[in-house]
């Protein structure tokens, strides 16, 4: 069965990522790569770090921006446990 095609404009970065995923051979490694990417995007949408508070405030700094937070970045790195590298 042919997969449904969805027209979508992609940046060059997004295109490289999608192409790399498609190039992976079928099997457990491909499935694991998909799982890791799904977890990463879920985390990036709703970052959680050790400083999160029970009342939903991300940390003790109410004006904090999670995109700029070193604790959120460290938590994201811990999700994959793969050292960053330049592509």
Q: What is the pLDDT along the chain (87 residues), one digit of tens a residue?
A: 787 888 889 999 999 999 999 999 999 888 888 888 888 787 777 766 555 666 666 566 666 666 667 776 777 777 666 655 554
Residue 31 covered by a domain: yes
As for how many domains the chain has, the answer is 1
Where do we find the tokens 């990463």? 40
Q: What is the CB neighbour count within 10 angstroms for residue 45? A: 7
- Put simply, whether the predicted model's pTM sits higher than 0.75 gets the answer no
Q: Would you say residue 85 lies in a domain?
A: no
pLDDT attached to residue 37: 85
Residue 35 domain-assigned? yes
Nearest-10 Cα torsion for 63, 47, 72, 82: -160
Which residues lie below 8 Å from residue 31, measured CB to CB, with a gap of 6+?
none
Within 10 Å of residue 58's Cβ, how many Cβ atoms?
A: 19
Task: Note whether residue 53 is domain-resident.
Answer: yes
């Amino acid at each position: 069965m042919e997969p449904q095609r969805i027209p979508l404009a992609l940046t060059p970065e997004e295109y490289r990522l999608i192409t790399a995923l498609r190039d992976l051979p079928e099997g457990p490694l491909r499935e694991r790569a998909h799982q890791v990417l799904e977890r990463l995007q879920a985390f990036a949408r709703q970052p959680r770090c050790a400083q999160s508070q029970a009342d939903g405030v991300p940390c003790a700094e109410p004006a904090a921006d999670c995109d700029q937070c070193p604790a959120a970045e460290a938590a994201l790195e811990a999700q994959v446990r793969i050292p960053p590298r330049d592509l």
